[in-house]
């Protein structure tokens, strides 16, 4: 059960990082 929670946590971290990365790229594209 603990391993499943760790997997979900890692999944959320990866998804969050991907979303933040896209926001940063869009922000830089609009700023330039």
In this model, does residue 1 exceed pLDDT 80? no
Mean pLDDT on 7-26: 97
Compute the distance between CA of residue 32 and CA of residue 25 in angstroms, rounded to an integer: 11
- Alpha-helical segments (H) within 1-32: 2-31
Q: How many domains does the chain have?
A: 1
> Which single residue is written with the structure tokens 């979900």?
8
Residue 32, Cα to own-chain centre: how many angstroms?
Answer: 23
Tell me the C-alpha distance between 26 and 20, whole Å.
10
Range of the domain at 24: 1-32
Over residues 21-26, mean pLDDT: 97
pTM value is 0.62
Residue 11 confidence (pLDDT): 97
Place 2 in a pLDDT band, splitting at 50, 70 and 90. Answer: confident
């Amino acid at each position: 059960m603990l391993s499943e929670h760790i997997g979900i946590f890692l999944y959320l971290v990866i998804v969050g990082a991907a979303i933040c990365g896209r926001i940063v790229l869009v922000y830089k594209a609009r700023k330039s």
